[in-house]
């Protein structure tokens, strides 16, 4: 494997710009190609970020022997097909969140990656910030006590557009998969897989969840209380309540640059600003794993991504949110 990982992007839409900015802060990674079905987009994105190769078919990018890894940033229903396309071509994959539409798809992608022996990871970018590494260490060493409650939210008020990625059932719309996945994943990182999953949601005119209040229970007795939505602004904060104090993140907690750890009467502040868009940390981790010959990241293994999708499947089943593409699965 080359010292510098040459990345290609499938689906250079709006979020792919943050990947392109982030990779500029990763010394041993470079953006070498993009693939868009829309030639003008390939051109304008490629010009903006000085991308040497531009393809008009996803198949052509994954077949390029000078591409070492693929970032998938298409809408949710195309995550599994695009990831599988890359994996079948033997290319490692970093795929946007949610990893897939449901757990069955996530299992298929994980099985394909394992069979082929290639790296795959969900691009849950917040998890790879330096402050999150510090949080995991504090939780593991118990210096702030044992985690008993995770309180986190991610909701914003978007205008209703039934055709859009956020509201269209055909594009697996709804708040849970788009932004609810962030607090669900945070709770998973801190507490593991819940053994009780419940919650209520308000569905909108297109039938997708527009706001939701989620409660998760864990075998240890710990709980998570999470809110999310695409029709309501929430505080965008996270507070982890422990037996000895609390660990809190100011808004927006999913760009975790600051953290306050309170233990008894003492309080410690941490501040580690991002270097670029914040995507640099997930790119660095995926590139490190690929160079080291790992097929999964220990920070976000595929089984954990599958467990997160399982939790979200259970919530959608409770709310009666089922997407058209799931009817055929």
Ligand X SMILES: NC(=O)c1ccc[n+]([C@@H]2O[C@H](COP(=O)([O-])OP(=O)(O)OC[C@H]3O[C@@H](n4cnc5c(N)ncnc54)[C@H](OP(=O)(O)O)[C@@H]3O)[C@@H](O)[C@H]2O)c1
Stretch that binds ligand X, among 8-16, 289-297, 307-315, 317-325 (CB under 6 A): 8-16
Question: For ligand X, which is the closer residue by CB, 126 or 248?
Answer: 126
Residue 250 per-residue DSSP state: P
Minimal CA–CA distance to 226: which of 209, 206, 243? 209
Judged by CB under 6 A, the stretch of 30-38, 200-208, 257-265, 305-313 that binds ligand X is 30-38
Size of the site for ligand X (CB under 6 A): 19
Residue 97 or residue 316: which is nearer to ligand X going by CB? 97
Give min distance, CB of 303 to ligand X, in A.
21
* Window 70-109: residues binding ligand X (CB under 6 A): 73-76, 78, 96-97
- Give the nearer residue to ligand X in terms of CB position, either 96 or 313: 96
| Piece in contact with ligand X (CB under 6 A), picked from 24-32, 37-45, 130-138, 267-275 | 37-45
**The only residue of 105, 178, 280, 310 in contact with ligand X, by rule CB under 6 A:** 178
Q: Which of 300, 101, 267, 269 is CA-nearest to residue 185? A: 300
Cα 22 → chain centroid: 15
d(CA 299, CA 115): 21
- Per DSSP (E only), the strands in the chain are 5-10, 29-35, 53-55, 69-72, 93-96, 120-123, 147-155, 196-203, 209-217, 223-229, 238-242, 245-249, 258-263, 266-271
Among 174, 164, 233, residue whose Cα is nearest residue 207: 174
We find the least distance from the C-beta atom of residue 10 to ligand X, in angstroms, to be 8
Q: Which residues bind ligand X (CB under 6 A)?
A: 11-15, 36-38, 41, 73-76, 78, 96-97, 125, 165, 178
């Amino acid at each position: 494997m080359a010292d510098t990982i040459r990345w290609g992007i499938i689906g250079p839409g709006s979020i792919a710009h943050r990947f392109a900015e982030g990779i500029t802060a990763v010394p041993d990674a470079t953006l070498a190609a993009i693939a868009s079905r829309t030639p003008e987009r390939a051109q304008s994105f490629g010009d903006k970020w000085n991308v040497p190769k531009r393809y008009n078919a996803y198949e052509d990018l994954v077949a390029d022997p000078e591409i070492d890894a693929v970032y998938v940033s298409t809408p949710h229903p195309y995550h599994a097909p695009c990831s599988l396309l890359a994996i079948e071509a033997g290319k490692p994959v970093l795929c946007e969140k949610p990893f897939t539409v449901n757990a069955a798809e996530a299992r298929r992608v994980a099985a394909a990656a394992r069979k082929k022996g290639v790296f795959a990871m969900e691009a849950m970018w917040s998890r790879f910030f330096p402050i999150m590494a510090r949080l995991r260490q504090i939780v593991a060493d118990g210096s702030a006590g044992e985690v008993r409650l995770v309180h986190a939210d991610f909701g914003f008020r978007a205008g209703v557009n039934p055709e859009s990625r956020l509201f269209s059932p055909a594009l697996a719309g709804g708040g849970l998969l788009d932004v609810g996945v962030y607090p669900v994943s945070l709770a998973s990182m801190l507490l593991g897989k819940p053994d009780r999953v419940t919650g209520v949601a308000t569905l909108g005119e297109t039938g997708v969840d527009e706001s939701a209040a989620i409660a998760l229970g864990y075998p240890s007795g710990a709980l998570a209380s999470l809110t999310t939505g695409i029709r309501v602004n929430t505080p965008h904060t996270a507070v982890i309540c422990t037996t000895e104090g609390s660990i809190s993140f100011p808004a927006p907690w999913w760009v975790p640059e600051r953290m306050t750890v309170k233990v008894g009467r003492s309080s410690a502040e941490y501040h580690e600003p991002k270097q670029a868009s914040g995507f640099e940390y997930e790119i660095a981790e995926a590139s490190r794993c690929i160079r080291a010959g790992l097929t999964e990241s220990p920070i976000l293994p595929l089984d954990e991504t599958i467990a997160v999708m399982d939790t979200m499947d259970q919530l959608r089943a409770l709310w009666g949110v089922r997407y058209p593409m799931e009817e055929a699965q």
